[in-house]
Amino acid sequence: MSITGIGIDLGGTQTKGACFDLDSGEILKKQVSPTRDGETENGKPAFVVQVEKLVAELGGERAECIGLSAPGLANQSASAIDFMPGRLDGLEDLDWPKTLRHSVFVLNDAHAALLGEIWQGNAKNLQDVILLTLGTGVGGAVFSEGRLLRGHRGLAGHLGHIPVDFRGARDNTGMPGSLEDFIGNHNVSDRSGGRFSSTRDLIDALKSGDETAEQTWDESMRALAAGVAGLVNCFDPEVVLIGGGISRAWEEIEPRIKAYLDQFEWRPGNGAVEIRKAELGEWAGVYGAMSFAIKGNFTP
């Protein structure tokens, strides 16, 4: 019988899980359930009940280990999320090994997504990689010299909050002119003068030749390229991965960001960073959680 492990990605609306063969890395079974944020069941947060059910259905009693990806800042012992205000009430300081009565290793969801891409995605076996996830906001993670960067408080990787316009309005962390506010789906209406309510609408109009869509998207791509060029100077990655829901518009992202990087990027020796689309999609966090649990801690 193969040795198995379970990867769980706890999201705001959906929670995904998969049982892996730890020898091959192959997914044997996967499942999705509603997170039920804000609900309670049997005196505890409903998302805990949902995770418990997923683990049981995926064969938790036979699993060697469990990796759990969640929003927020994970503690140094990888047993809990220390900081996650505003949603998933009850997640902060919840001891997952104790809750699931199993060997559980917890990490931030964006960190997990990058580890998943390095394990089995479009950054397989690389040592220096940056991930930017473009969605409602902008998430990110940095893998440098073969290790995940977490920083002093686990805050490292919040790349969406780097400033690309110091005169701009402050975002939800207080940062002026953040990358997130130039490309995130949360404020498309504001950026387009009320013309578009979502990035999907914006891209559809862009493809039809709409001038406002062209101007709005071009500004987003210019900001994204400026942010990437700055991150390249900071971390000198082999590859920058672009993921998240907005990356589905890859044909509208890749040529534009590359054209602006030709202007912005510092290239000693004519070496340009490689831009790739993340490969694992919405399952990246599950893969990364499993990869992290196999290793078992944050040490290099």
90 located within any domain = yes
Q: Is 101 found in the same domain as 138? A: no
DSSP string, the chain: ---EEEEEEE-SSEEEEEEEETTT--EEEEEEEE--TT-EETTEEHHHHHHHHHHHHTTGGGEEEEEEEESSEEPTTSSSEEE--SSSTT-BT--HHHHHTS-EEEEEHHHHHHHHHHHHSTTTT-SSEEEEEESSSEEEEEEETTEE---SSS-TT-GGGSBS-TTSPB-TTS-BTBHHHHH-GGGHHHHTTTS-SSHHHHHHHHHTT-HHHHHHHHHHHHHHHHHHHHHHHHH--SEEEEESGGGGGHHHHHHHHHHHHHHH---GGG-PPEEEE-SSGGGHHHHHHHHHHHH-SS--
Positions in the chain short of pLDDT 70: 1, 298-300
120 located within any domain = no
Q: Give me the CATH number covering residue 56.
A: 3.30.420.40
| pLDDT digit string, tens, across residues 129-161 | 999 999 989 999 999 999 999 998 888 999 999
Q: Is 69 found in the same domain as 153? A: no
97 located within any domain = yes
300 located within any domain = no
Q: Is 110 found in the same domain as 11? A: yes
For position 164, what pLDDT does the model report? 95
Q: Is 288 found in the same domain as 260? A: no
- The pTM of this model reads 0.93
Number of domains in the chain: 2
119 located within any domain = no
Q: Is 214 found in the same domain as 142? A: yes
For position 53, what pLDDT does the model report? 97
For position 269, what pLDDT does the model report? 87
26 located within any domain = yes
| pLDDT digit string, tens, across residues 9-62 | 999 899 999 999 999 999 999 999 999 999 999 899 999 999 999 999 999 899
Q: Is 269 found in the same domain as 132? A: yes
Q: Is 32 found in the same domain as 176? A: no
48 located within any domain = yes
Q: What residue numbers bound the domain in which 228 lies?
A: 126-278
Q: Is 255 found in the same domain as 134? A: yes
Q: Is 135 found in the same domain as 106? A: no
Q: Is 207 found in the same domain as 230? A: yes
Q: Is 157 found in the same domain as 104? A: no
